[in-house]
Amino acid sequence: MTTRTERKIVIQAAIVLAFVFSLVVAYIAWQTGSLLMGLIFLTALQIIVLLAILFVLESLLEITETRL
């Protein structure tokens, strides 16, 4: 069973990897002018936002559990 700290570290690592992936895709889209790469970039941004929301919810859950 993983601890909350380990899960938060994994979420942070996933956010960083998704950000790097989106930068690479944005660079390829800029160089090629491909619309498909632009759509993949937008999808990568959505993944980053969803992971950030997950991180915030995990933090809020940890805060509420420590107060109760």
Which residues span the domain enclosing 18? 4-67
% of the chain exceeding 70 in pLDDT:
97
DSSP 3-66: -HHHHHHHHHHHHHHHHHHHHHHHHHHHHH--HHHHHHHHHHHHHHHHHHHHHHHHHHHHHHHH
Write out pLDDT tens, residues 21-46. 888 888 888 888 888 888 888 888 88
Number of domains in the chain: 1
Angle between helices 4-32 and 35-67 (to 10 degrees): 160
Question: By C-alpha distance, which of 39, 20, 38, 21 is closest to 29?
Answer: 38
